[in-house]
Amino acid sequence: MANYDRLTSLDASFLRLERLETPMHVGALSVFDGVGLVDADGRFRINDVIDLVQSRLHLIPRFRKIIQSVPLDAAEPIWVDDARFDIGYHVRLTALPTPGSRDQLLALFERIQSQLLDRSRPLWELWFVEGLEDGHVALIQKTHHALVDGVSGVDVATVLFDFSPLTTVVEAPDWQPQPAPNPARLLIDSVQNTLASPRSAINAARRAVEVPVRAVNQVSELVRSISSMATGGVMAPRTSLNTPVVGRSRRFALVRVSLDDVKTTRRAFGGTINDVILAGVGGGLARLLEARRELTPDLVLKVFCPVSVRDDSERMALGNRISAMFVPLAVGEPDPVTRLQGVQATTDDLKEREQALGAAALLDLTQYAAPTILGLAARLLHHQPFVNLVCTNVPGPQTPLYCMGSRLIEAYPMVPLTRNLNLGVAILSYCGQLNIGLLGDRDLWPDMEVLAAGIEDSFTELTKRAHEELPATSQ
C-alpha cells in the first residue's frame, strides 16, 4: 500500500477555515542590518539569495510540495511534489521609496499579509524589501498554517539563516519531482488505509466495547481535563474583540519588551515567563477596552494559548503539533501585580488538571472523524466566540541569526485572524527581546496604537513594581 505524506486533521483544519477575508497563514516581519545583502554598487543580491534558499530546500522538503485532495473527501489531503516548482515565485524582491520609514514598511507588510497564498503552489513566500532607512533590509514571511506551527516556523528560520556571519555552504542533492498519484488510485489507497489502520473507527469502536480498566481511567482523566477548558463558562464574554472580521485589509503594530525585565518580574512575583507576558498583554487590553467603554471590574477575557507538544525528535517535522490552554484573564483587575498573580494561580491550576493534555487528546480523537464532519466542526468553531483572542508565545534563538552575513536585528511574528477573532497577539523572543506582533482587521482597529501603547506601559509598570519588590542585590 502506498505511503503518502498526508496532512493531519489539525493541519487540514486550517485549509477548511480559510476564506478570502481570513487567510490562514502565519507570518513575520524581520529587519536585517543590510550588510552582505547588497553588493558594492548598493544593489540587492537577489540572485545570490535565491541560490542560498534553493540550496537548503532539501532540508524542508514540503517547501517544494503542493496539496492534492482525495476524491470525495474520503481522507485528508496529501503533499505531492510540485512539478512546476519555481523558486523565483517564492523568493521575491520589492522596495520602498528611499529612505523607507517604519510606517511605510508596516503598510507594505499589511498589504502582503492580506492576500491569500496560491494553493496551486507550495504554500510559502519570502519578500525581501530594500530601500529602508539606515541601509536596512526587511524580510516579510508568509507560510500557511497547514504547513507550519510557531515552533516549526522557528525551525525553518534556523535552516534558512545562519548562526554566524559566515554563510554555511550546503551541498544540495539533485531534486526531481516525483509524479503525483492518480486520483482513482489515491482514493482506493486512502479508503484501504482507513479500513486497515489500527486507529480506524472500527477498531476504536471494538476497543470501546471491550472497555478495559485502563481505558476507563484514561477516559475519566480526559473528561476531567476537557471540563477544565470551560473555566469561566464555555462561551467567551461578548466584546468588540469578537466582532466578525469584515474586510481583507489588516493593521499591524509592534511592541518590543526587554526579556530581562520580564525575568525580573518573574523573580519578584513568581510564575513563568508566559504568565508575565499574559499579564502584560492583559494590561494593554484593559487600556483598550476602557477607551472603548467596555471595561467592567468583573470582566474576564478567555485567551487561547497554543502549547507545543513537540519533543526533540520532532525538530524540523513540519505541520502542527500543538495543544492548547484556555486562560481566563482578569482585565478588569486594576492592579498589575494582582492581575499577574491571578494568571499564575490559574495556569498552575490548569496544568494540574492537565488541560493541555485534554486538548491534545481531543486533537487525537479527530483522526477518527471523516474530513466532511471535521469541516463542519471547523466552520462551527470559526463562527462561535469560545475565546476572545489568541495569544501565542514562541521561544526563539537568543543568539544572533544572519542571512548572507547580514545580522537579524528584530523579528515580529504574526498569527492569523478567524471570523470571530479580529485580534491576534504573537510573541517571539529573540536575542534578549520580546517582539510582539499585533494583527487586527483594519476596519475594526483604528485604535491599534492604544493597545500597543497600553501593552508597553503595562510591562513598564510590572517592571517598576518588580524593582520595588526585589532587594537591590538581587536585581
Is 5-183's fold the same as 229-474's?
yes
Only one residue has cell 526563539, namely: 396
Single-letter code of the amino acid located at 258: S
Q: Which runs of E-coded beta strand occur in 56-147?
A: 65-68, 78-81, 91-100, 124-132, 137-144
Catalytic residue among 145, 382, 383, 467: 145
The CB-based long-range contact list for 334-339 (8 Å cut-off, 24+ gap) reads: 334/286, 336/279, 336/283, 336/458, 336/461, 336/462, 336/465, 337/269, 337/462, 337/465, 339/279, 339/282, 339/283
* CATH number of this structure's domain 5-183, picked from the four choices 3.40.50.300, 3.40.710.10, 3.40.50.920, 3.30.559.10: 3.30.559.10
Most confident of 172-186, 211-225, 300-314: 172-186
Is the model's pLDDT at 385 over the cut of 50?
yes
Q: What is the pLDDT of residue 337?
A: 96
Of the CA atoms within 13 Å of residue 98, those in its CB half-sphere come to: 7
Dist. CA 152–CA 398, nearest whole Å: 17
394 to 160, 360, 420: CA distances (angstroms): 18, 18, 23
pLDDT band at 3 (very low <50, low <70, confident <90, very high): confident
- Return the minimum-mean-pLDDT range out of 161-170, 173-182, 251-260, 343-352: 343-352
Dist. CA 23–CA 137, nearest whole Å: 26
Domain extents for the chain? 5-183, 229-474
How would CATH label the architecture of 229-474?
Answer: 2-Layer Sandwich (3.30)
Per-residue pLDDT reduced to its tens digit, 13-40: 889 889 999 999 999 999 999 999 999 8
Per-residue pLDDT reduced to its tens digit, 99-139: 999 999 999 999 999 999 999 999 999 999 999 999 999 99
Give the mean pLDDT of the chain.
Answer: 82
145 noted as active-site residue: yes
Number of other CB atoms surrounding residue 233 within 10 Å: 11
In contact, 361 and 309? CB cutoff 8 Å: no
Single-letter code of the amino acid located at 242: N
Residue range 151-166: average pLDDT?
Answer: 74
